[in-house]
Amino acid sequence: MYEIKKQGFFSAAHHLLNYNGVCENPHGHNWMVEAYVQGSELDGSNILIDFKVLKKELNIVLDYLDHNDINELPEFKGESPSSEMIAYFIYTRLKEKIVQLSRVTVWETPTSCASYYEDDI
């Protein structure tokens, strides 16, 4: 099995709903996102997927989030935009274009991240 990873970045504000603590207040992050692609077959150039293709599609999703208040986006109205939910959002959007997508990890700080992937079970 082969796996590649592409990183991307965006800056955005959010606040957590139904949360008792400082994160219930509006605040921002410089998010780092990792998109993983897995597969067992390489193409004629012996690559799983062109990094340029993955970068382009990832940046389309990240550009949508960049410099926004995530709570105000229609997809998050009434939802708590936690790192887990942001990872899920990016995964579902990116999966529409990158079929071999296996996981998305969202870092809100250098030491705190959340991932979303589909369980094969």
Which residues are catalytically annotated? 23, 67, 108
Neighbours of 63 (CB within 10 A): 12
